[in-house]
Each structure stands twice: as structure tokens, then as C-alpha cells.
């Protein structure tokens, strides 16, 4: 890449903060488009962008920019709210992304990196069949459908070199959502019934995502890639790592998965049970081979750090 500035959207969020920190430490010139300018780190050019959608004006933010890292998104909400917010998902994640891409093309930007989601493929992989670039997309949520619509529109367009990354659940200190909920569950001083859960779930550690983005910036090679940490973990291993971060033993009881699933469905938590019991495995070998990318950190170490951070131990 040339030495133009890099525009980062979502740079004050969970993922964006760490990406920005890494890029700043390597001497990159950054422009942050954010609606929270007071949260932007020093040393970055900041442009206030209040809402992302099909009418957003990007000209000021794109001035002097050679690459765009588009991290901002309307993210997962509780299942009971997701359908009601389907229009907002589409407006922000699909139409807003297309708008930014089109204006970036008009401004002469050379690279557009779009952080999509593994949910464009689906919510669960079949045992022994990890998701990869050849897996047919079957999104199950408004979030996943909006991300897929954006991907398809970007690939159909023209302009900058386009790199699309499809990460699974991202792990690291400060995480929210499902992993934060699981960490809170792991913090309870009681045994948990996951000792017999031997599923395979790929996570993506925050610093591994950061290094992947740096690899793309160093040597852009267009394409759409699934990406994740090399070694998948079972739910039992995830909980054990979280508890290790709290200085505790795993405390896991070997309750059969079928019994947990039945109880969860009866209690109205069938969707949560799928995420705890099912597989979501990712094969990121295509990205690794294309970019020479390797994990910087191990998933279990990051989970320990995550739990310790949430408990105020770091």
C-alpha cells in the first residue's frame, strides 16, 4: 500500500479500538469516522459521522485516504428484537456499506477492507465440515442477511481492491454479547453442566484479527475469506479457560448434551443451547496461505485474559 491515510469506521468500538491501537503503533496515518469523537485516541484525524446509511456523506472523511477499513455495523440484538430491527440492519450494514464503498471508489481509494461475519454462511457447521470459502451462504438472521447483501453488492461493483473477512465470534478483553454472557455464567460459584460437551467452535482472538488486517494492508490480495484462530475449542474448554482466568478450577459436570438441549428448549432457550452445544468451526487455511498469516496468540490465553478483565483482575 502507498502512504496515504487509512479511514477506519467503528474505530471506537470493541474491535476498532484495538485495530486502531495496533495501526497507530506501526506508524500508520489514521482517519477515524465516528459519532463518539471524545472517545477517539490521540494522534488520529477525527471526522464526526453520526449515522451510517444510504445518504451518509463521506467526502470529508475520505480526503487523502488510500485505504478503508470498514468495521462499523449494527450488531446482534436479542432474538426477540432482531426481526423488528431488520430494516435497520439492512440500512446500516448493507446500504450504508455500499454507500461508503461507492464514495471511496469516487475518491480514488485503492483498498476497501470490509469486516463481514461468519453468520453470512450460517449459525452452525456440520460435524467434521468446517465453514470455508466454498460453503454456500445460508444466513439465518437479519444481521447475517444484511452482511451477505453488502458482500454481494460490493463484489458486483467496481473500484478499490476488495477484501472481505468473515470472522466468527471475536474474543478479547472488553468483549460484549454472547461471550460476555458466557463469562458471567462461568464466574458463578457453582458447577456447570458442560463437561460432556465435545463440540468444535472456532473463535477469533482480537489480536489475531488485528494482525490479519495488518497483513492485508501490507500486501492486498482481493478476495472473500473466512478467518479464525487455528484451533477450535469445545464449550467445555471455553468455560474451563474462562474460569482459569478467574483463578478457578473448571468445575464442569458431565451432563449429556441431549439432556441440556431438551431442558433449554423447554425453558425457551433453544437458540442459546445451539450456540453452547453445536459446532461452528471455521477453516481459514485459504487466508493463511494467501497472506502467510499465523496466529499471534492462542485462543485459551485470550479467554483467560477476557475473564480476568471482566472480573477486574487486570
Residues with active-site annotation: 143
DSSP string, 169-229: SEESTT--HHHHHHHHHHTSSS-BS-TT----B--EEHHHHHHHHHHHHHS---EEEE---
- 3-state helix, strand and coil shares in percent for the chain, rounded to the nearest 5: 40, 15, 40
Task: Count other C-beta atoms under 10 Å from residue 303's C-beta.
Answer: 29
Task: Tell me the C-alpha distance between 235 and 237, whole Å.
Answer: 5
Task: Tell me the C-alpha distance between 243 and 250, whole Å.
Answer: 6
Q: What is the dihedral of CA 250, 252, 258, 261, to 10 degrees?
A: -70
The angle at the Cα of 78, spanning 73 to 80, to the nearest 5 degrees, equals 125
Q: Distance from first CA to last CA of the chain, Å, rounded?
A: 36
Task: Tell me the C-alpha distance between 56 and 145, whole Å.
Answer: 21
CA-closest candidate to residue 93, choices 54, 48, 46, 49: 54
Task: Tell me the C-alpha distance between 123 and 91, whole Å.
Answer: 22
Task: Count other C-beta atoms under 10 Å from residue 190's C-beta.
Answer: 7
Task: Tell me the C-alpha distance between 176 and 182, whole Å.
Answer: 10
Task: Count other C-beta atoms under 10 Å from residue 193's C-beta.
Answer: 17
- Residue 282 carries which DSSP code? B
Amino acid at each position: 500500500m502507498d502512504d496515504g491515510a487509512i479511514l477506519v469506521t467503528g474505530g471506537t468500538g470493541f474491535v476498532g479500538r484495538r485495530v486502531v491501537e495496533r495501526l497507530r503503533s506501526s506508524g500508520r496515518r489514521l482517519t477515524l469516522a465516528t459519532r463518539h469523537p471524545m472517545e477517539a485516541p490521540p494522534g488520529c484525524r477525527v471526522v464526526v459521522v453520526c449515522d451510517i446509511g444510504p445518504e451518509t456523506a463521506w467526502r470529508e472523511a475520505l480526503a487523502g485516504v488510500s485505504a478503508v477499513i470498514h468495521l462499523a455495523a449494527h450488531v446482534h440484538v436479542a432474538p426477540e428484537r432482531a426481526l423488528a430491527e431488520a430494516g435497520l440492519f439492512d440500512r446500516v450494514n448493507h446500504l450504508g456499506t455500499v454507500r461508503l464503498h461507492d464514495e471511496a471508489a469516487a475518491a480514488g481509494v485503492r483498498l476497501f477492507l470490509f469486516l463481514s461475519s461468519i453468520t453470512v454462511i450460517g449459525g452452525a457447521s456440520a460435524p467434521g465440515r468446517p465453514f470455508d470459502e466454498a460453503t454456500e451462504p445460508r444466513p439465518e438472521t437479519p444481521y447475517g442477511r444484511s452482511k451477505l447483501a453488502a458482500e454481494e453488492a460490493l463484489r458486483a461493483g467496481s473500484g478499490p481492491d476488495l477484501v472481505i473477512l468473515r470472522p466468527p465470534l471475536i474474543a478479547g478483553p472488553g468483549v460484549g454479547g454472547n461471550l460476555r454472557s458466557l463469562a458471567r455464567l462461568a464466574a458463578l460459584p457453582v458447577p456447570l453442566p458442560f463437561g460432556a460437551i465435545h463440540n468444535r467452535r472456532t473463535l477469533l482472538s482480537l489480536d489475531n484479527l488485528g494482525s490479519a488486517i495488518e497483513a492485508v494492508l501490507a500486501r492486498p490480495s482481493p478476495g472473500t475469506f473466512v478467518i479464525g484462530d487455528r484451533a477450535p475449542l469445545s464449550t467445555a474448554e471455553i468455560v474451563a479457560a474462562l474460569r482459569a482466568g478467574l483463578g478457578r478450577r473448571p468445575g464442569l459436570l458431565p451432563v449429556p448434551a441431549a439432556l441440556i438441549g431438551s431442558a433449554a428448549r423447554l425453558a425457551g432457550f433453544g437458540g442459546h443451547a445451539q450456540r453452547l452445544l453445536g459446532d461452528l468451526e471455521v477453516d481459514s487455511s485459504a487466508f493463511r496461505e494467501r497472506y502467510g498469516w499465523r496466529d499471534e496468540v492462542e485462543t485459551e490465553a485470550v479467554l483467560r485474559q477476557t475473564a480476568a478483565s471482566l472480573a477486574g483482575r487486570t
